[in-house]
Amino acid sequence: MVTGMGVLSPLGLDLASSLTAIKNQESAIRYISAWDEYKTLKTRLGAPLPDLSLPIHFDKKRTRSMGRGALISTLSAEMALIDSGLIDQSEIVQGGRLGIAFGSGTGGVDALADMTRFITEKTTRGMSGTTYHRMMSHTCASNIGIFFGITGRVIVTSSACTSGSLAIGYGFEAIRDGHQDLMLCGGAEEFSASIAAIFDVLFACSVKNNEPRNNPRPFDKDRDGLVVGEAASTLVLEEYEHAKKRGANILAEIVGFGTNSDGYHITTPRLETVQKAMELALSSAGLSPDKIAYINAHATGTMVGDVVESNATYNIFSSATPISSLKGIMSHTLGGSGSTEAALTIGMMREGWIAENYNLDVADENCAKLDYVKNECRDFAGEYAMTNTFAFGGINTSIIVKKI
């Protein structure tokens, strides 16, 4: 069961404001003038978090081992614990039956830069006793655990775009198999020109820099790439009887999870295994495709990814199931995307609507003829939704949630 959610997205600094921005068609995409100093960087589009003020108890002593990504991860985890009513329940939080599954695409960028200077300039200038703790791949998960005194198992899911969704899936399995009663599950990514540059040199970023509100364009024939953003989102997953006993407010239920590897190419997705991940989630949930009332697509706006994903989806669902991508309005929040989009999907289900494909005017003829939600939001009519994420390295995930 999902009993708490904490969302920090480019659309807003909580779940409610993020959902409102989607309904009001308020794009988070901005022209990033600070990137003008990077002369060979072609994209100038990005979606950082709105201005963020940390609570006073996030003081220097408690956050010295945190980079930006770990900071926003820990804040989203606190929001989720508050939402679940667990923030003051130390016997539960610190008793060993609450675990963590969390990941990000990379560690702290500033700390990585300090380490890089040692290699390129042969000097430890800029390095400190916390450099490694801020740059390590498990910095988000470990800092969450230390900040709240969590003593349960820690599962690190630093797997690029599937970091957050893989965390939810592994947290779901940890509870299902009796290893934990509760799991804090999520993912994050901090905003950085260096992360944009990774996709820029792959010709995967949108470079229509004078049109921030009109890009990216998932599934659209005029798309030219993704826009990177920043997010951190955490879900509290809880075993049903445990949640019932303490009188928790149940927001939704995770009922299915599928994950696999393309085993094919580091950046090019494979239709057969993308399709298989969705089929695994359906099998896990014991559901037929017609039971899914909405699909939250990964669709980032890249030329190859959208085509593969749409056709894999069509092979299972035909054109019967409404589908939309949130990235046209929110950006691609990378390690934060899986958990953020899962939380937003749950939020939409609870409010009874589903988002449109922002910036989708005319679908690419190479994309499958799916039921793309266009022009305005649509009513959610059903019990179940699927949310998908697919990552570099060929890691695929699919999650099915049930409306409560």
Active-site positions read 161, 298, 332
Helix H segments across 85-221? 90-93, 109-121, 131-135, 139-148, 163-176, 193-200
Q: If we measure between CA atoms, which residue out of 298, 278, 255 comes closest to residue 392?
A: 298
- Separation of alpha carbons 141 and 154, rounded Å: 7
400, 257 Cβ separation under 8 angstroms: yes
Tracing tokens 């997705």 back to the chain, one arrives at: 269
- Separation of alpha carbons 50 and 103, rounded Å: 22
Q: If we measure between CA atoms, which residue out of 69, 364, 393, 101 comes closest to residue 263?
A: 393
What is the residue-wise DSSP string for 335-377? GGHHHHHHHHHHHHHHHTEE---TT-SSB-TTS---EE--SS-
Q: Which residues touch 85 (CB under 8 Å, ≥6 apart)?
A: 3, 4, 246, 248, 249
- Strand bridging mode 45-47 / 228-229: parallel
Describe the chain by its helix, strand, coil percentages, rounded to 5: 40, 20, 40
- Strand bridging mode 353-354 / 378-379: antiparallel
Q: If we measure between CA atoms, which residue out of 295, 272, 286 comes closest to residue 357?
A: 295
Count CB neighbours of 104 within 10 A. 32
- Separation of alpha carbons 274 and 304, rounded Å: 13
The partner residues of 337 in beta bridges, in order of sequence, read none
Q: At what angle do helices 15-23 and 337-351 cross, to 10 degrees?
A: 70
